[in-house]
Structure 1
Amino acid sequence: MSTSYSTEVSDQFNEWSHGYRKIQHTKATVRLVEEYLQRIPLESKDDHRKLLNTIALLKAADRICSASMWLVAHMTYAKRVPMDGSVLSADDFKKKAQGHTGGALNMTPAYTGYLLANSLSGKTRSWVMGQGHCVAAIEAVNAIIGNQYEEKAKLYSCDEQGLSRLCRDYYSYELDKDGELKSRIGSHVNIHTAGGISEGGYLGFTALQYSHMPLPGQELVAFLSDGAFEEQRGSDWAPRWWRAADTGLVTPVMIENGRKIDQRTLMAQEGGTSYFEKYLKLHDFNPLPIDGSDPAAYAITLLNAMETLSKIGQEAQEGRISYPVKLPYIIAEVVKGYGLPAAGTNAAHNLPLGENLVEDDKAREEFINATAALYVSQTELEESVKTLNNHSINGRVREKDHELRLLKRRELIFPDDNYIESGLSVSCLREIDKWFSDLIHCNKSVRFRLGNPDEVQSNKMTKTLASLKHRVANPENNETESITGGVISALNEEAVVSAVLANKQGVGLVVSYEAFAMKMLGAMRQEVIFSRNLKKANRPAEWISIPVIATSHTWENGKNEQSHQDPKFSENWLCEMSDISPVYFPIDANTSKAILINLYKTRGKIAAMVASKKALPIVTTGDEAATAANNGVFIAIKEPNADIQLIAIGGYQLQSCLKAAKLLQRESVKCEVVALLEPGRFRVPRDETEAEYCHDKVMIDLMIAPAPLRIVVSHTGEEVITGVLRRLDLGTEKTTFMGYKNQGGTLNLDGMLKVNGQSERDIESVAKKMLSTNK
């Protein structure tokens, strides 16, 4: 410590530097903190007081971290916590323990360090955690410092009663009288986790999203794991995407504990930190290795990283350096499960002491000894919490209310509709492109993102490309590429959909080949589950809904062999809840645009839209398209007292049905033709929330006239749509479902329809057979 400091400051610093229980400070961390303190001027009594306050915050963080690790261990194994430090009896333990204990113990100093950085700087940053299974760390720290939402604050107070309930509710599996999960504590981050914005259950997606999340002026800390590093391709592209002009400061923090569930990570096998540092440097990161068991190391390095990125971002803005900038990247090296026995072994991942400490005397004794080394007295803990929680002094919000958690609602200005006249043939994608480009120009202050897994021009999105441009570091063609472009292009569906999903403070659109959109489902599903749970808790998401358009689809992609002929993207999304995950099958350019307009007026939804890029006849007027988009159905041919009703799902399917209807009408068969644009609205709802969105029986009968016989011709396979449309099913003798039969190859549209039994002649033949059978 510098001799220029007072004896009081030096004594306090020395006391901190000697550590607290299991929280010890390496020489490197002590130097890091000394350098930070030296940046505080010594010109007045206020400066002297600031030095002492800073050291007090460092000491408080050590104690909160130790107590939180103590609580994490109890959450896994115990039914109650002894706030007085007394020894638990065998009956105080769970008979079947559960928890991702090792990772949660490692996340505790990381999250505490994030809180410390906020307290030191007087700024509340946002956070996101990719390893959602480590939620016990977040819940433990939040319970101790009182950073909780109202529904949990009254349950899990920082006393023996509240923290004991926290332990019992962790993995309790108990349901309430309505069949809902009773506990507010999940196995992963959930909507009740203070400040949580992502479940973090599908590993790897946070690493693809963080560089697209904050707006300028905002700061984000992204906690990542070395195990998840093996998951999704594209996490090392963050420097390619980050721009100071339209993105806030970000700092990724890798918890490098070297282990997955049952073996070492591939990173550890390659050489651990030294290997990863070299890897990061090759991909335009600036690696910052730290001691991952020390909250002070996290806090000071976070502050330094944010300051560095701010400076180099400004330099890039001024043209003094070029993109990609060297993005600071913290590598927190720590033994997995540090704080409990079996640290650094495979056992540390889940249950380092086994699952039943009631009967295992040796393991119970090890637990008692280990947690005693982490224990903090209630008086000392209360004083530390009071010190760290300096929000009122700084006039900042609590971490539960950070900027990415409480998004500001954004209202869009919509361009004129200008629907196309009936009788013309127009590409759905071309009309979507024209309207979306107009939307961009109407909302110049909004951050737009188009996710493009290649072929954006082939998919008719030329105007949007001209408006937004590909985001690149070195533009090759200024007409289609820009350093600050809004089109995120990579031959990686997970990466581009993540870029759009992360842009919740702006407007997003994804356009993909249908067959390859399948790879996006994991990222999409994780987002809508979180959004739906927010809605059910009366805290609906404020982000503008996101369409994912599947084009170059099954029926128009015959030239590319059968791997490209796959409707499972929409089939899978139909299995999600229709109120938050709608699936649309527009039948012409007008309905495509009307659906998009409707969707962008809603919040918190991720929609799948299967739209043709090749021209289809315009079959709706503007008013009809708007009504069809609202109701999810369009009556293409109305026929009172019809002999048979043809129901089409998909643009090409409607054209086949219209042609088949003409053939049947020539033989005096009264035929009605219906197009279902949103089949999910007609399903049997699976819960009350979905029931509010789906049409009831009365409404269905008003929209779709009762018929003696029905044929459903679907873009999808027939099995899924049969289940979805159970309420339109008249029975096997009176209803036939005709879907994609997994037949294909190098074919044109007519060939695809014929080999899958969906040509007009196929439909006519089935109709005649049904009419004959049901005379």
Structure 2
Amino acid sequence: MSQILPSPEELAAHAAAEPEYARWLRGRGPLQHSVQTQAAVFRVAHQLVQYGLQPDLASVYRLFGALDRLTCAGLWLVAHMTYARRVRLDGAPLQPEDFKAQPEGHTGGALNMVPAYAGYLALNALSGKTRGWLMGQGHCVTAIDALNVLTGNLHPEQAAAYGNGEAGLDRLVQDFYSYAQTAEGKVAAPLGSHVNPHTAGGIAEGGYLGFAELMYAHMPLPGETLVAFLSDGAAEEQRGSDWIPRWWRAEDCGTALPVMIANGRRIEQRTDLGTHEGLEGFKLHLRRCGFDPISFDGRDPAAFVCALWEMEERLQHRVDEKERGILRYPLPIPYGIAEATKGYGFYGAGSNAAHNLPLPGNPSVDAEARDLFNQHAAPLWVEPDELAEACQLFIASRSGRVLERDNPLAVRRPIEPSIPPLHYRNDECSPMAALDRFYVDLCGANPDLRARVGNPDELASNRLGGVLKALRHRVSEPESELEAVDGRIITALNEEAVVSACLANQGGLNLVASYEAFCVKMLGAVRQTLIFARQQKEAGRPAGWLGWPLVATSHTWENGKNQQSHQDTTFCEALLGEMSDMVRVVFPADHNSLLALLPDIYRSRGQLACIVAPKRERPSVFTQAEAEQLARDGAILLDEHPGAEPLLLIANGSYQLAEMRRAALRLEEAGYPYRLVYLQEPGRFRAPRDNWELPALADESIAMRLFPDHYERRVLLTHMRPEVARGHLWPILPDALKTAVLGYRNQGGTLDEAGMLFANRCSWAHVLAACARLLDVPRSALLAPDEAAAVAGKESPAVLR
């Protein structure tokens, strides 16, 4: 760390005067303290006393000594979680029967995370302030669980299972990768292979490497601090993380402290950061991006304490200088680089094998592997009374502050937003106009809820000009009235980065809008958030963040200006496959139907909504009352022409509704009875997959009223691919032989709306051809000869326009 530090001679004199410092200097097991770290601890100790955070230097050094013992115990326990069926707190060597028949774990990374998370705990203890934490490499969760168990930082279910001394630790190592299930098929243990809602203080799974890098700066609110542990492999490959200094503002962001664990290895390869040249090059790259890199010894928990403290001090100093007019945005963001060896502290450190199972064999059957385990675990063992004394220092430090389990980011629950007046219309207009006005009014009515708009550079094109004018792009040097230093729109041609900004903003109001085809790039980040929120609900601690919409517009059926890459219904189809209580997938057909959806979307908690909406002008279909009923029920009866054995026509999508209404008119002219239903929210009419999803479905009485059993012949015209729609909607499409489903067939190109509909056999005429088949009448009964010829591909489709 580039700072003024005492000389080795001064440190030696200090050790002679401070026995606790001298005791800490000796290290513990594999933990050795470099001269740089010795000097940094000296400096931090004096600052903590000067700031009144600690009574004296001896108290500080005593906790640093406890930190070494806690870290060794954490390393010891992580190794046992991978390999052992039990622990021996007396330090005796494990015997063959003490080992798992099938060891499993992400051992190397978890070993590297032990000093990192232990250092985080120690900083909280020393400063009297509880920070939040985030771990991009969620597979290293054993480090978190081990240290949480040792320090009593647990949710009730983990405390009951693992908090009972040696017996609890035995159950901890047995439960890890036990694959045990409940009768319902759920994971039986309050434990996982990644960060999960049972992990005290956890806020994200970290299953997709690289997303934490995109999210951390957008997570803390002013007055909060977040320590973000990041992966070196992800950091050098996820370029969106380079832009954090562009977005961070002290006025609406809390302190964010990124720390990369530079252990130099992926699963199978060395990373570029595993070389001196690569590491130096990365530091240079960080500086060019506006970061202030700080390298330190990633093997030593004390170095983490000092680095995090220094990062906080530097950032606050930069904010002070900015307020005095010395600096301007972007401020240099401190970025810790913890230089370590993969799997340090145990056998196999630095090897590819360190990632998963570092030993050369299975200790339960391999004597050499067993000897190696015992040999390398022995230096990590801490005598129980000594460990208890060390842990008690951490526990005692929580007096007057919340547990790490309950840090502000982990218990986020913003106030319910005030919903502004709704402005319904009866003229032809873009449905996106409803969202444009509503979101601006919503942000205006709720100034205490931080607004974030994720924008892949198409707001104006997507008819959100009011949002753009009111909230403005966040930039460092504004060039127009649509840009501002304090703008609330995060704009980048990187869908993962912009959606992550909103997924991270769990204390505020969010909106993401993109071309439907490009939304597919957001799926991994969105799905990770949905899964974590669902697991929180199942654990009895439901997510408290406010719901918001992911808007897929400029969509497949109206994006003929571009080539077929811009015509893709995958996003809504994929989200329809997720649990309907966690994400709603809705297809408003006009302005009013979209507007009526928005209040409940933004009042919901822990639930997203995928809105598939056209941006072009569309006719007004629904009155205010109809739109509100449609929002409540998920579908609505639009028209009915009674008679014997009528057809049930179901439209899903704005352009699909227009085609279906045109087909219905022809049926009526031909004397065939029908019922026309608009299906706005398909997920409401699926079969529930578990009891949690059941309340999100439409009441059976609604389904029977809209889709009565005596309507045997049914035609669905959907925005989506027909196979996907048929699979999800089998409860309302019960007889495949008496049902026709039309939708996107992967056809397209540079075509207008009518051309796209024809190319995919989704025009009104194709609907009538399907009706004729179900009615067992010739197409000529419903279509003129030239129309039938066009449907058959024998005449120009122009006749159908």
Task: Tell me the TM-score range normalised by the shorter chain.
Answer: over 0.9
Alignment counterpart, residue 746 of structure 1, candidates 743, 746, 750: 750
Alignment of 1:264-283 (within 5 A): 264-268=270-274, 271-283=277-289
* Distance of 1:66 and 1:359 partners within structure 2: 27
Q: Is the 8 A contact 2:556 2:569 kept in 1?
A: yes
Instruction: Using the TM superposition, name which of 666-675 and 203-212 deviates more.
Output: 666-675
Deviation at 1:417, TM superposition (A): 1.3
* Distance of 2:360 and 2:500 partners within structure 1: 37
* Distance of 2:113 and 2:274 partners within structure 1: 18
Partner AA of 1:732 in structure 2: A
* Distance of 1:672 and 1:276 partners within structure 2: 64
Match of residue 770 from structure 1: 774
**Residue 676 of structure 1 pairs with residue 679 of structure 2:** yes
Secondary structure at the residue paired with 2:603? coil
Match of residue 128 from structure 1: 134
Partner AA of 1:644 in structure 2: L
Match of residue 470 from structure 2: 467
Q: Is the 8 A contact 1:488 1:499 kept in 2?
A: yes
Match of residue 202 from structure 2: 196
Match of residue 689 from structure 1: 692
C-alpha deviations, 1:133-178, integer Å up to 9, x for none?
Answer: 0000000000111110011101112621111110000000011222
Alignment counterpart, residue 419 of structure 1, candidates 394, 404, 424: 424
Alignment counterpart, residue 519 of structure 1, candidates 518, 521, 537: 521
Alignment of 1:576-595 (within 5 A): 576-595=578-597
Q: Is the 8 A contact 2:118 2:301 kept in 1?
A: yes
Match of residue 386 from structure 1: 392
Instruction: Using the TM superposition, name which of 756-765 and 677-686 deviates more.
Output: 756-765
* Distance of 2:598 and 2:35 partners within structure 1: 58
- Structure 1 gaps, min length 5: none
C-alpha deviations, 1:241-266, integer Å up to 9, x for none?
Answer: 10001001111000000000111013
1:42 and 1:278, CA in 2 relative to 1: closer, same or farther beyond 3 A? closer
Match of residue 26 from structure 1: 34
Match of residue 405 from structure 2: 400
1:82 and 1:247, CA in 2 relative to 1: closer, same or farther beyond 3 A? same
* Distance of 2:739 and 2:38 partners within structure 1: 76
C-alpha deviations, 1:496-528, integer Å up to 9, x for none?
Answer: 000000000001010000000000000000001
Match of residue 101 from structure 2: 95
Match of residue 705 from structure 1: 708
Partner AA of 2:95 in structure 1: S
* Distance of 2:55 and 2:545 partners within structure 1: 43
Q: Is the 8 A contact 1:598 1:630 kept in 2?
A: no
* Distance of 1:549 and 1:520 partners within structure 2: 12
* Distance of 2:223 and 2:637 partners within structure 1: 50
Alignment of 1:533-544 (within 5 A): 533-544=535-546
Alignment counterpart, residue 622 of structure 2, candidates 613, 617, 620: 620
* Distance of 1:742 and 1:211 partners within structure 2: 39
Instruction: Using the TM superposition, name which of 34-43 and 763-772 deviates more.
Output: 34-43
Match of residue 661 from structure 1: 664
Deviation at 1:314, TM superposition (A): 3.0
Alignment counterpart, residue 44 of structure 2, candidates 36, 41, 44: 36
Deviation at 1:41, TM superposition (A): 5.6
Match of residue 253 from structure 1: 259
Q: Is the 8 A contact 1:83 1:159 kept in 2?
A: no
* Distance of 2:479 and 2:609 partners within structure 1: 34
* Distance of 1:101 and 1:620 partners within structure 2: 58
Percent same amino acid among aligned pairs? 46
Match of residue 454 from structure 1: 457
* Distance of 1:390 and 1:221 partners within structure 2: 22
1:47 and 1:97, CA in 2 relative to 1: closer, same or farther beyond 3 A? closer
Alignment counterpart, residue 577 of structure 2, candidates 551, 571, 575: 575
Secondary structure at the residue paired with 1:612? coil
Deviation at 1:354, TM superposition (A): 4.1
C-alpha deviations, 1:597-625, integer Å up to 9, x for none?
Answer: 22111100122110010011111111111
* Distance of 1:705 and 1:427 partners within structure 2: 33
Match of residue 139 from structure 1: 145
Q: Is the 8 A contact 1:452 1:487 kept in 2?
A: yes
Superposed CA RMSD: 1.9
Partner AA of 2:536 in structure 1: L
* Distance of 1:373 and 1:170 partners within structure 2: 23
1:108 and 1:42, CA in 2 relative to 1: closer, same or farther beyond 3 A? closer
Match of residue 292 from structure 1: 298
Instruction: Using the TM superposition, name which of 454-463 and 307-316 deviates more.
Output: 307-316
Alignment counterpart, residue 167 of structure 2, candidates 137, 161, 167: 161
Q: Is the 8 A contact 2:213 2:241 kept in 1?
A: yes
Match of residue 799 from structure 2: none
Partner AA of 2:592 in structure 1: N
Q: Is the 8 A contact 2:361 2:369 kept in 1?
A: no
* Distance of 2:727 and 2:287 partners within structure 1: 52
* Distance of 2:766 and 2:247 partners within structure 1: 50
Match of residue 563 from structure 1: 565
**Residue 444 of structure 1 pairs with residue 447 of structure 2:** yes
C-alpha deviations, 1:320-353, integer Å up to 9, x for none?
Answer: 2111111000000000001111100100000000
* Distance of 2:281 and 2:401 partners within structure 1: 39
Q: Is the 8 A contact 2:330 2:476 kept in 1?
A: yes
Alignment counterpart, residue 63 of structure 1, candidates 65, 69, 77: 69
